Amino acid sequence: MAYDFDLLVIGAGSGGVRCARVAAGYGARVAVVESRHWGGTCVNLGCVPKKLMVQASEFGDMVTDSHGFGWNTTPGTHDWPTLIAAKDREITRLNGIYVSMLEKAGVTLLTGHARFVDGHTLRIEPSELAPSATPHTVTAERIVIATGSTPFKPDFTGVELAITSDEAFHLPQRPQRVVLMGSGYIGVEFAGIFAGLGSRVDLVYRRDLPLRGFDEDMRTALSEAIAVRGITQHRHTNPVKLERDGADLVLALDDGKSLRADCVFLATGRRPKIDNLGLENTQVVTVENGRIQVDEGSETAHAGIYAIGDVTDRINLTPVAIAEGHTLADRLFGTAPPRQWCYATTPKAVFFSPPVASVGLTETEAAQNGTVDIYIARFTPMRHTLGGRRDRKTVMKLVVDQASQKVVGVHILGDDAPEMLQAVAVAVTAGLTKADFDRTIGIHPTSAEELVTMRTRTRETLKTG
């Protein structure tokens, strides 16, 4: 049978766009169908606007800190609508870049909501991006589902009054009092954004420390840094009821407290986006939380249908979705062996101020494999000495497998941590040892030089596994 395309990609987010472009580069006839935003979550409602807002939130402190360096500056006021408009202009520019990259690669762009009719046929229906599209069908030999994820809202009374990150990027005014629920990436990052811009922030979470899954020392250091930023943390707490009281929202918690706010923001995780995809017309299998099950080659249970990125709920990070999309296109259409990536050393960063960044194993994870040597440095970065924020610490940690002396984990909380960590991730991916770090000359004066000057072991942690 002759299909319209060799490959049809559903979703023009980070993973889908990379897959489509690389496949088209190999000469395949490729189409990508997008229902909402060119560039997907990362560009429109995630990484990019978030980082711009984090940067916006840091100028206030910088102005104050400049006094210690002799500047006679006066802290000003922040205009939220100006920030949102500037951010939107940048996002519109990036949307255009995504479209032109796809067009230049020879990819056919389709707009609308795609729904499986069968394993080779999609019906394209009107959607947010194409409200007046005429419904039609397209066929392809292979189809990639790259539909991403969507915010998850827990079930409690009044939850509909709360917003998620989807709405946070377009609030008409900055709320003066914000309650953030959840202490994962989004909760921590938006707590920092709103606090930096002058809002009163309450961070509500159900554990003893924020950022489950990160190294315990980093979680502790982050919790301290959150307190230093003036954010109130409510630990071991869950929401019971949200209601309106005049202009206020009132959130009742299960510890008996209630919090008044202008905005209650749920940052309680994301779920694979599979709604109305017509998966019932295929053999694609979904498992817990709607995750599409795939094999190592990103192929679903339906031969010829693949899934990449957040919809598979593996490592839900933009660069991983890009890697998955690239490898899939290599494998389906390339002539050389597909690119290999080291997912085990995927670096990650949480853009609080100061940010946290990590690569490799936590101390607890590493100790399951063998006894580990732990090196920790804690100091006040130079700019905060004259700047006057001596309580704004940097914490660095090396986790070293004692038997091999390989550095198996690096964790940093501090200014520029993600920038440092990206380079260190190469060393950890390469399997370098503590001796390799030790024989590397530092750059002085930097925070990063601590990574190569940690001479004295802080402690030994015995094998637990």
Provide the binding-site residues for ligand NDP, judged by CB under 6 A.
Answer: 154, 182-187, 189, 205-207, 212, 238, 267-270, 316-317, 348-351
Q: Which is nearer to ligand NDP, 268 or 300 (CB)?
A: 268
Determine whether the annotation assigns residue 76 to a binding site: no
The length of the chain is: 465
Q: Closest approach of Cβ 51 to ligand NDP, in Å?
A: 8
Burial class (CB in 10 A: 0-12, 13-18, 19+), 409: buried
Residue nearest to ligand NDP (CB): 184
Determine whether the annotation assigns residue 199 to a binding site: no
Q: Which is nearer to ligand NDP, 146 or 186 (CB)?
A: 186
Determine whether the annotation assigns residue 149 to a binding site: yes
Q: Which is nearer to ligand NDP, 149 or 199 (CB)?
A: 149
Q: Closest approach of Cβ 211 to ligand NDP, in Å?
A: 8
Residue with tokens 């198996």: 408
Rg of the chain, C-alpha, whole Å: 24
Determine whether the annotation assigns residue 217 to a binding site: no
Determine whether the annotation assigns residue 264 to a binding site: no
Q: Closest approach of Cβ 84 to ligand NDP, in Å?
A: 19
Q: Closest approach of Cβ 31 to ligand NDP, in Å?
A: 28
Identify which of 274, 293, 275 has the alpha carbon closest to the alpha carbon of residue 283.
293
Determine whether the annotation assigns residue 300 to a binding site: no
Q: Closest approach of Cβ 115 to ligand NDP, in Å?
A: 26
3-state secondary structure the chain: CCCCEEEEEECCCHHHHHHHHHHHHCCCCEEEEECCCCCHHHHHHCHHHHHHHHHHHHHHHHHHHHHHHCCCCCCCCCCHHHHHHHHHHHHHHHHHHHHHHHHHCCCEEEECEEEEEECCEEEEECCCCCCCCCCEEEEEEEEEECCCEEECCCCCECHHHCECHHHHCCCCCCCCEEEEECCCHHHHHHHHHHHHCCCEEEEECCCCCCCCCCCHHHHHHHHHHHHHCCCEEECCCCEEEEEEECCEEEEEECCCCEEEECEEEECCCEEECCCCCCHHHCCCCECHHHCECCCCCCECCCCCEEECHHHHCCCCCHHHHHHHHHHHHHHHHCCCCCCCCCHHHCCEEECCCCCEEEEECCHHHHHHHCCEEEEEEEECCCHHHHHCCCCCCEEEEEEEECCCCEEEEEEEECCCHHHHHHHHHHHHHCCCEHHHHHCCCCCCCCCHHHHHCCCCCCEEECCCC
Determine whether the annotation assigns residue 119 to a binding site: no
Pair type for strands 121-125 and 113-118: antiparallel
Is residue 444 annotated as a catalytic residue, yes or no?
yes
Q: Which is nearer to ligand NDP, 183 or 327 (CB)?
A: 183
Q: Which is nearer to ligand NDP, 39 or 112 (CB)?
A: 39
CB 295 within 8 A of CB 181: no
Residue type, 240: V
Q: Closest approach of Cβ 346 to ligand NDP, in Å?
A: 10
Active-site option among 78, 170, 302, 444? 444
Distance in angstroms (rounded) separating the CA atoms of residues 275 and 279: 9
Q: Closest approach of Cβ 212 to ligand NDP, in Å?
A: 3
Q: Which is nearer to ligand NDP, 24 or 267 (CB)?
A: 267
Determine whether the annotation assigns residue 184 to a binding site: yes
Determine whether the annotation assigns residue 51 to a binding site: yes
Q: Which is nearer to ligand NDP, 317 or 408 (CB)?
A: 317
Identify which of 276, 215, 203 has the alpha carbon closest to the alpha carbon of residue 399.
215
Q: Closest approach of Cβ 164 to ligand NDP, in Å?
A: 8
Q: Which is nearer to ligand NDP, 184 or 409 (CB)?
A: 184
Determine whether the annotation assigns residue 288 to a binding site: no
Bind-site residues for NAD(+): 182-189, 269
Bind-site residues for FAD: 51, 147-149, 310
Q: Which residues are catalytic?
A: 444
Bind-site residues: 51, 147-149, 182-189, 269, 310
